[in-house]
Chain A
Amino acid sequence: MSVDAATVRRIAHLARIAVTHAEVPHLQGELNAILAFVEQLSEVNVDGVEPMTSVTPMDMKKRADVVNDGEIADAVVANAPAREDHFFVVPKVVE
């Protein structure tokens, strides 16, 4: 499989990465090189093979359902590029 220019733009949008017109052919070539490389997986017989979900055989551990953190709003917002009090500030999303 290979991707065309429209697909590259669609993927970029899904990934929330702005791409310029000039970047598309370049990205298309690189993505297609990778897709051509992984194409060889289609020759492997995977009939009846379970997809791997955990590389170490272990049950997912669960923590006790208790509050063990909190009251650190200052620390949570300390690195935000835009904030007001304990809120993150973003461009308007509701008209």
Chain B
Amino acid sequence: MTDLTSLTMAEARDGLARKTFTSVELTDAHLAAMERARALNAYVLETPEQARAMARDADAKIGKGEGGPLAGIPLGIKDLFATRDVRTTACSKILGDFKPPYESTVTTQLWRDGAVMLGKLNNDEFAMGSSNETSCFGPVVNPWRREGSDTKLVPGGSSGGSASAVAAGLCLGATGTDTGGSIRQPAAFTGIVGIKPTYGRCSRWGIVAFASSLDQAGPFARTVRDTAILLRSMAGHDPKDTTSVDRAVPDYEAAIGKSVKGLRIGIPKEYRLDGMPSEIDRLWSQGAEWLKAAGAELVEVSLPHTKYALPAYYIVAPAEASSNLARYDGVRYGARVDGNNIVEMYENTRASGFGAEVKRRVMIGTYVLSAGYYDAYYLRAQKVRTLIKKDFEDCFAQGVHAILTPATPSAAFGVGEKTGADPIEMYLNDIFTVTVNMAGLPGIAVPAGKDAQGLPLGLQLIGRPFDEETLFSLGEVIEQAAGHFTPSRWWE
């Protein structure tokens, strides 16, 4: 029998429908692969009993012809999604052994459609990070290594566990969240596909909040088609999230293979950075050529406020985080460290429960919102955000259907390489992705090539609001041209 962990989700779906194998077999194959891959530290909690029970249930439903769109498909869930009675920590010590008495809307919809939960995936603490090194469970290891080297590389972040698990065949797909690039950057670092949909497309209810005006859930998978399959189940209106949009969810999979002839693709000149590695530049040109060969038209566009997106983000996101994370006070859930009075209890709890990066961001956020600084920092950043969004609106108003950029300024780097004294060095990882969150737009990262050391590199396509379908059609063109990227299973 073929290795069930190497199938795409679409292939697994067809195999289950044809009864070539059962969901229990498919699930067991993944559980065994997870056991062999513990060195990657992708899962922070494996849920084999629950997985097998869900798989048996899916098999029964498939047998009766009642299987949903994801019937029997084993998935990994980022530990930012609340899962009923299953420990959910956001990979922070402060949540301790928190077991939510409720289920997030996105995961509820995945289970509604028949998916199987394999376990909870590692991430940067509260999704704050670009390398998955801030997790209280330790760093995740990228399944990719530089040619001839056994240096451990990061999978990117914050959804590093999701990316690593999908790339290593430890699930057929995974959920992620993206506040500044946390789906697209790890997808690019691990040679897989990840999409951040339009803000409001997926419900945020039951997802541990980081920066509420930027956070959005999205899927990871090994093919563009598989992410389209997953997004259809994850998206949709939810009355429990007031920013969730009441708009029909299209059949995203139908966009796969659709002609891109005549689509106008913007190439933003501001994304051509000084000192950008030439291989990133070459990859970008190659991607543009592929789209052109498929009939798309390339146009140079200008997004003049691009360089201000990252600094504005590092005001807006920490400000919202400082407010959201005020709830971790040692009273209602999570860990508590006692003090002589209630304020000391709060201060001790938060000092011991939050890691260094989270403390840094909560403090920056507290500062920019504090009396006397609000106008100079927060209000100005929100005005700059309006300008960043307007750049994109102007571009789309000129008839541009989507924008092509590199996904990241480099390939994956080594564990510990960017955790020095200057936090900005790490923040620069999100330079190409953060604009998309600031403007609330959809963005997809698709693997497109390798660097000189054999590491995968990705391209990003940015779409018009709620036009994920065009991104799937264009992403498929790049995937067909670039092929698939599979790491050797050195950990087995």
Contact = CB atoms under 8 A, between A and B. Distances in A.
Contact of B363 (A17, A58, A91): A17
B363 to A, nearest CB: 5
| Secondary structure class of chain B's binding surface, majority of residues | helix
A11 to B, nearest CB: 5
Interface residues on B, range: 35 or more
Given A41-B384, A79-B333, A81-B334, A51 B379 contact: yes
Interface stretch (B169-177, B274-282, B421-429): B421-429
A16 B366 CA distance: 10
Contact of A78 (B101, B338, B385, B421): B101
A56 B245 contact: yes
Between A18, A30, A55, the greatest number of chain B beta carbons within 10 A of the residue's beta carbon is seen for A55
A31 B422 CA distance: 10
Interface string A50-76: 111111101011110000000010011
Contacts of B333: 79-81
A78 B380 CA distance: 42
B364 interface: yes
A13 B386 CA distance: 32
Contacts of A81: 96, 330-331, 333-336
A44 B360 contact: no
Interface in A1-30: 1, 3, 7-8, 11-19, 27, 29-30
Interface residues of A, number: 55
Interface stretch (B27-35, B149-157, B219-227, B348-356): B348-356
Contact of A46 (B246, B350, B373, B383): B383
A77 B373 CA distance: 37
B478 interface: no
B384 A30 contact: no
Given A17-B354, A55-B213, A61-B242, A50 B383 contact: yes
B267 to A, nearest CB: 24
B239 A17 contact: no
Contacts of A56: 198-200, 243, 245, 440, 465
B311 A1 contact: no
29 contacts: A7-B367, A11-B367, A15-B350, A16-B350, A17-B351, A17-B354, A17-B362, A27-B359, A30-B360, A31-B364, A33-B424, A38-B311, A38-B315, A39-B311, A40-B311, A41-B381, A52-B213, A53-B382, A55-B213, A56-B200, A56-B440, A79-B98, A81-B333, A81-B335, A81-B336, A90-B342, A91-B344, A92-B341, A92-B342
Interface of A: 1, 3, 7-8, 11-19, 27, 29-31, 33-35, 37-42, 44, 46, 49-56, 58, 60-63, 72, 75-82, 88, 90-93
